[in-house]
């Protein structure tokens, strides 16, 4: 029971009790994709994330060290530590891999030592060779058991990727998202970060079939700010427990102001038009 107490306390720092929602930022791109707009100088971006008032921030073990003093600030977000690395997002366009590869780079004990309030791992489904998918499940089950022993929430990030005919190009397919989010919940996820389907009606069905909180992932920066706000509003209207957005925050004109705008929608229940009018985003 005491380990569950630890999970509850830590998860409440990320998904706030007052609204049942979270505005968290994914800032782990350097680990898989290297330097890019928004992460060239990690400490500068982290200062913006803190200024905006994010509830949680997803970072790599290295970034937890680089930003250690910033993460001790009064208003610093909770740390969600990424425990795995992947080349899935670079393949196949950059390196011509047939399929992505994924591997653990840290563990739950190390995450606690770095100050994490939660750990997070990918759970890819849909690779051509089913043993890769099986390894993904085994990886998540292993981390899940360690997290349960040590009282730290395990957020799983299930995603339909790979070249297999049954998943290729179907990342936002409501049936696949319903499948992998439910699988993650049944393995033991405390919360889930995953793709949005693109509309509130189909997402409400995903959420209805998933017994643990879902935070949406953002994906590439949208062509307009309104598009990303519409995505967030749709997910919240569908019953999502919040957001764990990356590029649409860290590549925004002003990431701090973007976080404040997102908080108005997610925690404040504001409409997109109101936010566009009242925030300089």
Ligand X SMILES: O=C[C@H](O)COP(=O)(O)O
* Contact positions vs ligand X (CB under 6 A): 26, 28-29, 58, 157, 217-219, 245-247
- In the bound complex, what is the minimum distance in angstroms from residue 227's beta carbon to ligand X? 13
Question: Smallest gap, in angstroms, from Cβ of residue 29 to ligand X?
Answer: 6
Provide the minimum distance between the beta carbon of 45 and ligand X in the complex, in angstroms, as a whole number.
Answer: 12
Q: Nearest CA to 100 among 125, 76, 83?
A: 125
Q: Look at the block and give the residue holding tokens 């069905």.
A: 205
Nearer to ligand X, 214 or 245 (CB): 245
| Residue 253 falls in the annotated catalytic set | no
Say if strands 214-216 and 102-104 run parallel, antiparallel, or are unpaired: unpaired
Residue tagged active-site, from 7, 21, 48, 193: 193
How far is it, in rounded angstroms, from Cα 183 to Cα 238? 20
In angstroms, what is the minimal distance from the CB of 181 to ligand X?
15
Cβ nearer to ligand X, comparing 148 with 162: 162
> How far, CA to CA in Å, does 132 sit from each of 6, 75, 91, 170, 243?
32, 40, 15, 18, 28
Angle between helices 200-208 and 225-238 (to 10 degrees): 40
Which is nearer to ligand X, 111 or 217 (by Cβ)? Answer: 217
CB atoms within 10 A of CB 132: 18
Shortest reach from residue 15's CB to ligand X, in Å: 17
Residue 54 or 148: the one with the smaller Cβ distance to ligand X is 54
Select 202 or 228, whichever has its Cβ closest to ligand X.
228
Q: How many residues does the chain have?
A: 281
Q: Which residues contact 165 (CB under 8 A, 6 or more apart)?
A: none
Q: How many CA atoms lie within 13 A of 107 on its CB side?
A: 6
Any residues with CB less than 8 A from the CB of 96 and at least 6 apart, and which? none
DSSP-assigned letters across all residues of 266-278: HTT---HHHHHHH
Cβ-closest residue to ligand X? 246
Q: Which residues are catalytic?
A: 193
């Amino acid at each position: 029971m005491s380990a569950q107490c630890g999970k509850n306390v830590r998860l409440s720092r990320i998904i706030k009790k007052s609204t049942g929602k979270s505005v968290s930022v994914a800032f782990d791109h350097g680990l898989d994709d290297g330097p890019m707009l928004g992460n060239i100088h990690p400490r500068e971006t982290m200062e913006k994330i803190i200024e905006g008032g994010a509830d949680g921030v997803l970072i790599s073990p290295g970034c937890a060290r680089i930003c250690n003093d910033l993460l001790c600030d009064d208003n610093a977000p909770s740390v969600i530590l990424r425990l795995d690395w992947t080349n899935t997002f670079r393949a196949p366009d950059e390196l011509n891999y047939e399929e992505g590869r994924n591997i653990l780079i840290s563990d739950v004990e190390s995450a606690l030592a770095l100050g994490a309030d939660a750990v997070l791992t990918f759970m890819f489904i849909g690779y051509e060779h089913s043993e890769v998918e099986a390894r993904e499940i085994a990886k998540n089950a292993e981390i899940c058991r360690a997290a349960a022993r040590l009282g730290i929430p395990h957020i799983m990030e299930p995603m339909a990727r790979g070249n297999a005919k049954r998943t290729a190009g179907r990342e936002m397919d409501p049936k696949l998202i319903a499948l992998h989010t439910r699988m993650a919940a049944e393995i033991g996820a405390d919360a889930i970060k995953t793709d949005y389907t693109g509309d509130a009606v189909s997402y409400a069905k995903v959420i209805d079939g998933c017994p643990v909180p879902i935070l949406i992932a953002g994906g590439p920066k949208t062509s307009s700010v309104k598009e990303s706000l519409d995505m967030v509003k749709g997910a919240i209207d569908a019953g999502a427990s919040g957001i764990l957005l990356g590029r649409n925050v860290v590549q925004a004109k002003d990431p701090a102001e973007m976080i404040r705008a997102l908080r108005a929608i997610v925690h404040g229940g504001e409409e997109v038009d109101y936010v566009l009018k009242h925030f300089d985003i």
